[in-house]
Structure 1
Amino acid sequence: MKTKICGLKSLREIEIVNKYTPDYVGFVFAGEKRKIDEEVAQTLRRELSRDIKAVGVFVNEPLERIAKMCEKNIIQLVQLHGDEDRDYINALQSEVEAPIIKVIRVQSVNQIKEALTLPCDYFLYDTYSQHSYGGEGKRFDEMILTEVYKEDLSQVREGLQKPYFIAGGLTAQSISLLDNRLKPFGVDVSSGVEISGQKDEEKVREFLLAASKVS
């Protein structure tokens, strides 16, 4: 199972992930809590191990800005965490070659089925919040996903076959409690490996070790 550590902001945090090598890291270009600008991201990317792929996290971002960061190789994948629809994703795909991750903030079975028709490369399931586009470090009801993925639904079969990440309130302790009927491509963590808003080396190590034990 792949691992993604999201919301890196400093060279110290780059040192930590370089030491323990998750598959992906996320640079957040939206919100307030973990937002960085393009200049900082470029600095972090230069120091990031080439064995780790950088994901840019955006919310309703102008296409031109995303394309620019892809062109500069600041990011290698694009994560859309806002209200981006089919037309937006199609337009972005015409501008960039980078794989696109579409975040779905889990609310209901029907909502997931509808989202599965979107033309992205990956899905990322996160917790819905009325207050922000991020999940705020809380778990969502995994039974909603299980209900969708246990069926071979002809109308969304292509979507069901796409790889997906699970995020939202994961920690080294809770990752083993993921519903074993789900087979995520990867797991995504941010606050679950932090202390006082900063990535903690021991928490990162423990999370990646725990993830490696989940089949």
Structure 2
Amino acid sequence: MKEIKICGLKRMEDIAYVNEFRPDYVGFVFANSKRQVSIQTGAALCKELSSEIKKVGVFVNEEPKIINRAIKECGLDIVQLHGDEKPDFASFVDSKVWKAFRVKSAEDIAYIESYPVSGYLLDAYSEAIYGGTGMRFNWDIVRKVKTDKKLILAGGINIDNIEEAIRISNVDVIDVSGGVETDGVKDKNKIRELIGKVRNHG
């Protein structure tokens, strides 16, 4: 069964929704973004989160000491590096690491195995921002990735195309943010429907 990550939580209501519908992972964005939360806010949200759900912190070109502070204060299980971090950066992080790659073509994933991390997240490329674009890339590229690490698909996934995303057989985790929002905030009904589609797919 595919795992599901709901990213970009920033309100207590969001925590209540995921506690009810139980995705495998939730993401808190500590980088500059419309979904950004402070470490203090992240810690307060994480305190109310079910212990069954793994916590992922999203960072872009941040200093290791700041990342490690967030790990400690928020109890993060995984750090998602979404910037221009070099392969050795993960060794300075006090948790498991997923490295995000912004994909335009197959060339963008040619060297992902050089990163000694626990998982690879593939997202759509944008010149303007590092992630959370709501855009998708050519998912056929994902089929070319051969790895024993966890593979995560992000970018433009929503209720209408989630089943297509699931059919990409070598993806372990489906990562959704804007696809479960209405007017910029998390939508309880969309979260329920999307997680239901993933669980029912088997």
TM range (shorter): over 0.9
AA paired with 1:27? F
Across the two proteins, how many residue pairs are aligned to each other? 201
Whether contact under 8 Å (1:142, 1:179) holds in the other structure is no
Kindly state the Cα deviation for residue 105 of structure 1 after the two structures are TM-superposed: 0.9
Superposed counterparts of 1:5-154, under 5 Å: 5-92=6-93, 96=94, 98-149=95-146
**Percent identity between the two aligned chains:** 38
- What CA deviation, in whole Å up to 9, does each residue of 1:14-43 have, x standing for no partner? 111111010111010012300010111111
Structure 2: tracts of 5 or more residues without a match: none
Kindly state the Cα deviation for residue 122 of structure 1 after the two structures are TM-superposed: 0.5
- What CA deviation, in whole Å up to 9, does each residue of 1:1-21 have, x standing for no partner? 111000000101111111101
AA paired with 1:163? K
- My pick for the range that moved more, 39-48 or 139-148, is 139-148
AA paired with 2:112? A
AA paired with 1:44? L
Going from structure 1 to structure 2, the CA distance change for 1:147 and 1:77 (only over 3 Å counts) comes to: closer
Q: Separation in 2 of the partners of 1:185 and 1:32?
A: 26
Q: Secondary structure at the match of 1:72?
A: helix
Determine if the alignment matches structure 1 residue 165 to structure 2 residue 162. Answer: no
Going from structure 1 to structure 2, the CA distance change for 1:79 and 1:181 (only over 3 Å counts) comes to: closer
- What CA deviation, in whole Å up to 9, does each residue of 1:60-105 have, x standing for no partner? 110001111222343111000100111212333xxx1x21011111
Kindly state the Cα deviation for residue 182 of structure 1 after the two structures are TM-superposed: 2.9
Whether contact under 8 Å (1:13, 1:199) holds in the other structure is yes
Q: Separation in 1 of the partners of 2:56 and 2:76?
A: 5
Kindly state the Cα deviation for residue 181 of structure 1 after the two structures are TM-superposed: 4.8
Q: Secondary structure at the match of 1:71?
A: helix
